[in-house]
Amino acid sequence: MVVIARVIGISRNRARLTYVMVRIAPSLNRIVTAFLAALWLAPAAFAQGADSAEVERLLGELAQPEQQGWQQIEASIMREWSKSGSPAMDLLLQRGQQAMEEGDMEAAIEHLSALTDHAPDFAEGWNARATAFFHAGEYGLSLADIERTLALNPDHFGAITGLGIILEELGYETEALEAYRAVEAIHPHLESVRQGIERLESKVEGERL
């Protein structure tokens, strides 16, 4: 029953994300909705170094609202997602992340662009560069990299959270709410996401009343 519930949850989550992308695409013109609509229904493509069975197990545990050890589970998932299967690509990811921590977005984007060029099937490379673009104020480029991240890994709660933040900042409040709800279905423990849902529910659904 747990497995069935997980599959149903994933299907609903991907359908919700497809809805979000379809709604914003006419204005942003960077989201290829037909391409995404097919990919949401496909299984996640994990990097060569990640243990897909272990990630699925961990995601199942993370999705339990009463889970007490969720921080450790989250960290384990991120470690798996950060395994490219290549020491050279792992080094580029580390250099990009370090540059971001130091506030050097130009260097971060340079390292992470090299990573996405050489490892286009590595979702975490796209996610990291999306984060760097976001901090550089390049929302359009960040959204394009979020698209690539979620095409490869539809369960990436960090990328979906980033999508929600950008949508909210751009004024797409209904779509941002759907994105935050999609995150909550995967990772129900993030306070910032919970606050985002509460904030937007009062605005979006309050207006409907």
148 vs 88: CA distance, rounded Å = 21
C-alpha dihedral (172, 177, 181, 187), degrees to nearest 10: 80
CATH number of 71-139: 1.25.40
Domain ranges of the chain: 71-139, 155-208
Along the 209 residues of the chain, how does pLDDT read in single tens digits?
Answer: 433 344 445 555 666 666 666 555 554 544 434 334 434 444 555 555 667 899 999 999 999 999 999 999 999 999 999 999 999 999 999 999 999 999 999 999 999 999 999 999 999 999 999 999 999 999 999 999 999 999 999 999 999 999 999 999 999 999 999 999 999 999 999 999 999 999 999 888 776 55
pLDDT at residue 48, as a whole number: 58
pLDDT at residue 25, as a whole number: 55
Residue pair 176/193 in contact (Cβ under 8 Å)? The answer is: no
